[in-house]
Structure 1
Amino acid sequence: MTREVTALPKAHLHLHFTGSMRVETVRELAQQHGIRLPDALVTGYPPKLARATDERGWFRFQRLYDAARACVRGEADMRRIVREAAHDDAAEGSRWLEIQVDPTSYAPFVGGITPALEIVLDEARSVSSDGRIGVAVVVAASRMRHPLEARTLARLAARYAGDDAGHVVGFGLSNDERRGATEEFGPAFAIARRAGLALVPHGGELLGAQAVMETLEHLDPDRIGHGVRSVEDPAVLDAVAESGATLEVCPGSNVALGVFGTAAEVPLRRIVEAGIPVALGADDPLLFGNRLAAQYAAARELGFDDAELAALARGSLRGSRAPERVRAAALADVDTWLATRPMP
């Protein structure tokens, strides 16, 4: 007897803008703009990704991601992505979404990085207005670009910082962990820290425990995207626990990218038992073929009972930058979910 994971109130803290798209949306935008999509996004969907822990596997993943991003050609497309991501999350029980976007990717179509960010923020405010879900934004720099660009994005993020839906609530660092030196992005994160933003870099999915340690030492994060490879070194696992950082664990991503062979190998239990707060995330549903509720279903397959799933949901809410009124209401509803008689 179990309760429906889609009814469990939760927050979604690890979702990329392009990767959040419905495959139907990508196909429609491609047709609209006269773009030919790779077969993996058409008849071969969902994609069968190679191990991204090697260079060829990552190249295949990045090629598909770039093909999807190329279909986003203006304001209407960008607004559609935010709106559909919010609706999909709300349907799966999410009360708060922090969607991650690198505005440089869309700047050429809307007149610059500032308009690109403002479009996303404006639609986030609009879709949040009905009260089903609050949507905020994490501005993310790319490890593939110069650290000075990260400082530019951090300053932009700081200009729109706020503590409610329709504002920038965090600053991240994404893309291939094997590129760039983590410490060189420290100044950008210092700018974001002074603005009161949550610091949420990726680390410890493609690379091992040492990458997590470098992230802790140089960026002082509030959350770490993934961080699952910290289990490879007990000292690093202890350091993550002592830091208080929340790990954004994305089981579907880990398996699809070949970090772990099966969902049963994802070390979620070890992370939780180490006393580390966890927020489950879907990462890039477009390419991995599963959304937020599927991550909770994966945890259930790993042996997490409903009380433990409720604890994971609480971890996502507490690790978020949701306003206190949103967080308190959702936490109360988690308790209600757990008190409700489960379905046979």
Structure 2
Amino acid sequence: MEARLASPRHVHDHPRHAALDGLDARGAARDLAALPKAHLHLHFTGSMRHSTLVELAARHEVHLPDALVEDWPPSLHATDERGWFRFQRLYDIARSVLRTPEDLRRLVRETAEDEAAEGSGWLEIQVDPSGYAARFGGLTPTVELVLDAVREAEQATGVGIGVVIAANRTRHPLDAKTLARLAVRYAGRGVVGFGLSNDERRGRAYDFEGAFRIARRGGLLSVPHGGELLGAGSVRECLETLSADRLGHGVRAVEDPRLLERIADREVTLEVCPASNVSLGVAATAADVPLRTLYEAGARMALGADDPLLFGSRLVRQYELARTEHGFGDAELAELARQSIRGSAAPDAVRRKLLSDVDAWERGTPAGR
């Protein structure tokens, strides 16, 4: 598979020139952490602070490989089976340090604190409860523990949080149906969507149509991963078979202009994770992630950090890459933030407040003025 994505069809002659638009009255670059936004692509264990990983590993006597300690963030490349296996192994090792309910509550609380510092007014965090169920008493108790931790974190930080329950592509589709029914039980009580993650090459979208039908009928957003490790065909399956409202990654839709036009027409939001794409070898450099192509084609986007624990960068860094590598000026960065908010499951009042605050950021006035 060719890892390097197609170059954008529409680029600036000098891709960094528009960064000059991002200046405040003092001539300094406008603070992207102050830009209100929604974060829609963040995995549960992958949201953990590196310092917390190291501390919990020492407390619970979990041996961490050098890639998660001295050599952190690890060098990754997941466009081949061996590279993906290593990536998944590191994720599983990190998850193993979550041994007690308080560990899990700490992760959620610290994640919400970090999101607040990054300007996120709304977060949707994705979790496969199957990976934690053996330690926390089963699938239902795990989901209830996560939702309880989310409520505490919301109260402590003011960041609104929705939970996306995700099935694993490498497991049987019947397991996905079980998770979909569980997710529907908590629709309206913190669970906002149903996802599908892990290696696209090992589980086709159409195998999971039944699970997504259950989730959609239960009022949940359809938010599968697609178009990361596989090309436009994977994106098409997610749209046609799973009726995706949003698509995790989806960057390889640029390989099919007609498909990209359809994504724009249907207002499907692509959860684009630039640093992740580079770390996993999907794109050679941040400049090769087709943000400009997607934006100018009219595709909605929500920038995401994916797994900061493994990739070493959080949400603001993704906006910085849009500014420095793709020439997005303030108005375009504000529009990206609006697209993330509109693509979210945030309550209407939260959306209105965040959108108003984005307008204020673009004007250069304090929020609420």
Q: How does 1:72-83 map to 2 (within 5 A)?
A: 72-83=98-109
Q: Is the 8 A contact 1:73 1:106 kept in 2?
A: no
The reply to whether residue 308 of structure 1 matches residue 332 of structure 2 is yes
Question: Paired residue for 1:277, among 300, 319, 341?
Answer: 300
Task: Find the counterpart in structure 1 of residue 289 from structure 2.
Answer: 266
Question: Paired residue for 2:160, among 124, 134, 137?
Answer: 134
The reply to whether residue 197 of structure 1 matches residue 220 of structure 2 is yes
The residue matched to 2:86 in structure 1 has which SS?
helix
Question: Paired residue for 1:71, among 97, 118, 135?
Answer: 97
Task: Find the counterpart in structure 2 of residue 174 from structure 1.
Answer: 197
Shift of residue 239, structure 1, vs aligned partner: 2.1
The reply to whether residue 317 of structure 1 matches residue 341 of structure 2 is yes
The reply to whether residue 21 of structure 1 matches residue 63 of structure 2 is no
Task: Find the counterpart in structure 2 of residue 327 from structure 1.
Answer: 351
The reply to whether residue 223 of structure 1 matches residue 246 of structure 2 is yes
Q: Is the 8 A contact 1:254 1:266 kept in 2?
A: yes
The residue matched to 1:200 in structure 2 has which SS?
strand
In 2, Cα distance between equivalents of 1:68 and 1:21 = 9
In 2, Cα distance between equivalents of 1:172 and 1:279 = 16
In 1, Cα distance between equivalents of 2:84 and 2:152 = 35
Letter in 2 for 1:207: L
> Structure 1: where are the runs of 5+ without partners?
none
Letter in 2 for 1:188: A
TM-score (norm: length of structure 2): 0.90
Shift of residue 131, structure 1, vs aligned partner: 6.0
The residue matched to 1:59 in structure 2 has which SS?
helix
Greater RCO (CA < 8 Å, at least 6 residues apart): 2
Letter in 1 for 2:310: L
Task: Find the counterpart in structure 2 of residue 7 from structure 1.
Answer: 34
In 1, Cα distance between equivalents of 2:300 and 2:108 = 27
In 1, Cα distance between equivalents of 2:208 and 2:355 = 34
Q: State the Cα deviation string for residues 6-57 of structure 1 (Å, max 9, x = none).
A: 000000000000100111111111111111001011111111112x111121
Worse-matched range after superposition: 32-41 or 123-132: 123-132
The reply to whether residue 96 of structure 1 matches residue 122 of structure 2 is yes
The count of corresponding residues between Structure 1 and Structure 2 is 338
In 2, Cα distance between equivalents of 1:329 and 1:341 = 15
Shift of residue 73, structure 1, vs aligned partner: 1.5
Question: Paired residue for 1:60, among 86, 93, 101?
Answer: 86
In 2, Cα distance between equivalents of 1:340 and 1:236 = 37
In 1, Cα distance between equivalents of 2:286 and 2:204 = 30
Question: Paired residue for 1:44, among 68, 71, 74?
Answer: 71
Shift of residue 78, structure 1, vs aligned partner: 1.1
In 2, Cα distance between equivalents of 1:261 and 1:131 = 36
Task: Find the counterpart in structure 2 of residue 121 from structure 1.
Answer: 147
> Structure 2: where are the runs of 5+ without partners?
1-22, 24-28
Which runs of at least 4 in structure 1 moved beyond 6 Å after TM superposition? none
**Identical columns (%):** 64
Letter in 2 for 1:141: A
Letter in 2 for 1:92: E
Shift of residue 176, structure 1, vs aligned partner: 0.4
Task: Find the counterpart in structure 2 of residue 161 from structure 1.
Answer: 187
TM-score (norm: length of structure 1): 0.96
The residue matched to 2:135 in structure 1 has which SS?
helix
Q: State the Cα deviation string for residues 274-306 of structure 1 (Å, max 9, x = none).
A: 111100000000000000000000110110001
Task: Find the counterpart in structure 2 of residue 143 from structure 1.
Answer: 169
Letter in 1 for 2:257: P
Q: Is the 8 A contact 1:74 1:106 kept in 2?
A: no
The reply to whether residue 286 of structure 1 matches residue 312 of structure 2 is no
Task: Find the counterpart in structure 2 of residue 32 from structure 1.
Answer: 59
In 2, Cα distance between equivalents of 1:68 and 1:119 = 19
In 2, Cα distance between equivalents of 1:156 and 1:136 = 15
CA RMSD of aligned residues (A): 1.2
In 1, Cα distance between equivalents of 2:291 and 2:261 = 15
Q: Is the 8 A contact 2:173 2:208 kept in 1?
A: yes
